[in-house]
Amino acid sequence: MVKLPEKVKERRKLAEKIRKAREGKPEFVRQESWRYKRVKPAWRRPRGIDSKMRIGKKGWPASPNTGYRTPKALRGLHPSGMAEVLVYRVEDLKGLNPEIHAVRIAGSVGRRKKLEIFREAAQLGLKVLNPPKKVEEAEAK
């Protein structure tokens, strides 16, 4: 068995905890979305006066409430166990720790700057969650 550094072990434990926390939650669906094609399953609060779902009657789908909240230590983390950081420019990469942070390049950033950010992140050893497409083609030009 390969011995892993402590930080990697901790991250894997954290990722496992995140997976288990999400696994325990039901899929919250809109009332009667399974009945009518026109009613999409995206969650809407049941408000009807006689609504069985609003009352929380047995046999009806679960509604979101505080009991389903993610533990404080895991909130806002990427499923890999790393903290996501939104980056708009190369300077935003300074001060980030590759063991803790994962980079997501903002959607409003253009292709040229996206490639610059990607290269700099690779040099710093940071994981980019949404790497630019066709990196090799751009480098060939």
In terms of pLDDT, which residue wins out, 108 or 3?
108
Strands 127-128 and 83-87, by their bridges, are: unpaired
Q: What pTM was estimated for this model as a whole?
A: 0.67
pLDDT value of position 86: 95
Q: How far apart are CA 36 and CA 32, in angstroms?
A: 7
pLDDT value of position 122: 94
The number of beta carbons lying within 10 Å of the beta carbon of residue 86 is 11
- 48-92 pLDDT, tens digit each: 999 999 999 999 999 999 988 888 877 888 888 888 999 999 999
Please compute Rg for the chain using Cα positions.
Answer: 21
**Percentage helix, strand, coil for the chain under 3-state DSSP, each rounded to 5:** 35, 10, 55
